[in-house]
Amino acid sequence: VIMETGEISRKLHKGKNTTRHAELVPLGNGTYFCDTPGFASLDLPDMEKEELQTCF
pLDDT, tens digit, for every residue of 1-56? 666 777 888 888 877 767 778 889 899 999 998 888 777 677 878 889 888 888 77
Which residues are paired to 23 by β-bridges?
Answer: 35
Report the distance separating Cα 27 and Cα 34, nearest Å: 10
Report the distance separating Cα 5 and Cα 10, nearest Å: 15
**pLDDT score of 26:** 92
Tally of residues, the chain: 56
**pLDDT score of 1:** 63
